[in-house]
Amino acid sequence: MNTEQICPCGSRKKYQYCCGLYLSGKEIPKTAVQLMRSRYTAFCQGDIDYLIATYHPDKRTKNDRQKIANSIKNTTWLGLNIIDTSQDRKNQAIAYVEFVAIFKVNEIQQLHERSKFIKANGKWFYLEGEILPDLVPKRNDNCWCGSGKKYKKCHGNQI
């Protein structure tokens, strides 16, 4: 990827100053949100090694590489919106990031997820995710799909 390009993660920063720092191994993400964004970018770019390296070692299985490869092959990622981030009240090494990722498999869909991240030996890892119901905007708000149209004129049309 051209490092001068805008990063796919939605930060509006150049790739080389955003997720490119982490995918290239120059730096490690300092926050769970940085890790989340960089994993999204890794999905966009098909960087399977990065996705496995940032997945918590306890959660890895033999099939991960194949599963990720299949998902990357079938999915076009179209955008990421971070909705909320929070830290566990009792344990500073646990953080949550709620996001909507827009993707296309046959048709445009959203993945609304609350991901759990854990810091171990100074590094953040993705632990697991809870899938949430699709985000439904108000009728006159912008549609979740990024079309720029009002929800009622776009994906809210059929409801």
In the complex, which residues of this chain contact Zn ion (CB under 5 A)?
7, 9, 11, 18-19, 37, 143, 145, 147, 154-155
Cβ-based nearer residue to Zn ion, 78 or 154 = 154
Q: CB of residue 112 vs Zn ion: minimum separation in angstroms?
A: 14
Burial group, residue 13, by CB count within 10 angstroms (0-12, 13-18, 19+):
middle
Q: CB of residue 40 vs Zn ion: minimum separation in angstroms?
A: 8
Cβ-based nearer residue to Zn ion, 95 or 110 = 110
Q: CB of residue 155 vs Zn ion: minimum separation in angstroms?
A: 4
Cβ-based nearer residue to Zn ion, 2 or 92 = 2
Distance CA 45, CA 98 (A): 22
Task: Write down the number of H helices and E strands in the chain.
Answer: 4, 4
Rounded (5°) CA angle 147-151-156 = 115
